[in-house]
Amino acid sequence: MKRLKHNPPFPQRGASLVEAVVVIPLLLFIVLGALQTAMVFYAKSNLNYAAHEAARAGSVNNASVASINLAFQKALVPYYGGGSTSAELATKLAQVTEDINTHAAVRVEILSPSQESFTDFNSPALQTLMKLTEQVIPNAALNELNCPRDQPGCPSDPKTNASGQSLADANLLKLRITYGIPQAKQMPLAGTFYTWALKQTGAGASDPYKLALIDAGRIPVITHTTLRMQSNAVRNAAMVSSPGPGNNGAPTDPGPVAGGGGSGLPSCPWYDPNCGICSSGSTGDCGGGDGGGRGTCLPVK
């Protein structure tokens, strides 16, 4: 008896081609997405380093925004390609500066000291000594002071003052830096999808600056860093308002800062650089003011 051949009604010819058409683009996109994620982590690593260098510069330059920005840009030179000669490094720094300034790609926020910190710990005498109109927080002798020398009755208790900080806390420079990764440092297709996904998930909904970066095709990355101030902090616009528990978290007018009782300023040690003029009449040397190596620090007129 002859066996009949059974032919399937729907041959499976071309199935591999269909699978390839579906799988290969999907696999390629997954690989590009993984590479894009790795590039974001690489950018974050560079940003962390740049933020630390920026904080170092700010700590010795009175928390100056200009010094913070310059140090940050210099530290980003390796991320933009670096160079092997001084000329190449200068060219790359100019490229970094142009990219950041033209596209407003970096935002520097000083979280500490805050605006309220200067309300609590400003030193009018130090302002005069430094010939500044902006308020100043002293940096010297923090181990023995709770208030500036010329404001011994300042609101120093973090539980009740405007900033929720002590004088030592106000001498911590804490930065929050937001940087937008440019499209030139993103993977093709994956970078566009990355920014699209961020926008769809509302990543920048609460922050107009982050939303502007996303709209410009940049991926926002944020880093924080904290260093001890090594100079007197001078108030500037980059310092955010962060009311402490002293006013129940609501920004209010704290009124005049409580002044110290008695006449003149309290005595200070000879090593305090904020003592510009002493009771002996000499400048820069408070020794012998009371026979024990201390003198009375007077405001500069």
- Range with the lowest mean pLDDT among 93-102, 111-120, 211-220, 258-267? 258-267
Q: Are residues 45 and 175 in the same domain?
A: yes
**Which of 210, 229, 249 marks a domain boundary?**
249
Alpha helix stretches (DSSP H) within the chain = 15-59, 65-75, 86-102, 115-121, 124-130, 167-170, 190-200, 208-215
Please tell me whether residues 56 and 168 are part of one structural domain: yes
Separation between Cα atoms, residue 149 and residue 10, nearest integer Å: 93
* Residue 70 buriedness (CB in 10 A; 0-12 / 13-18 / 19+): middle
Task: Dump pLDDT digits (tens) for 217-271.
Answer: 999 999 999 999 999 999 999 998 877 766 665 655 555 444 444 444 456 666 6
User: Sign (positive/negative) of CA torsion 138, 129, 286, 61?
Assistant: positive
Report if residue 122 sits inside a domain.
yes
**Is 11 within the bounds of a domain?**
no
pTM listed for this prediction: 0.76
Q: What domain range is 229 assigned to?
A: 24-249
The reply to whether 161 and 279 lie within a common domain is no
Which residues are within 8 A (CB) of 5 and not within 5 positions of it... i.e. 6 or more apart? Answer: none
The answer to whether residue 199 sits within a structural domain is: yes
Per-residue pLDDT at 251: 58
Average pLDDT over residues 141-162: 88
Residues 288 and 212 in one domain: no
Higher pLDDT, 131 or 298: 131
Q: How many domains does the chain have?
A: 2
171 and 286 inside one domain: no
Same domain, 46 and 105: yes
Share of the chain above pLDDT 90, in %: 51
Beta 106-112 vs 172-181: how paired, if at all?
Answer: antiparallel
Over residues 68-75, the mean pLDDT reads 96
Does residue 187 share a domain with residue 294? no
The reply to whether 12 falls in a domain is no
Tell me: do 289 and 160 sit in the same domain. Answer: no
Note whether 180 and 289 are same-domain residues: no
pLDDT band at 33 (very low <50, low <70, confident <90, very high): confident
> At 145, which amino acid appears?
L
Instruction: Provide DSSP, 211-222.
Output: HHHHHTT-EEEE
Q: Which helix (H) or strand (E) holds 173?
A: strand 172-181
The answer to whether position 254 is within a domain reads no
Let me know whether 154 and 188 are in one domain. yes
Based on the fold, state whether residues 202 and 276 are members of the same structural domain.
Answer: no
For the record, the structure tokens of 17 come out as 């081609």
Specify whether 63 is located in the same domain as 206.
yes
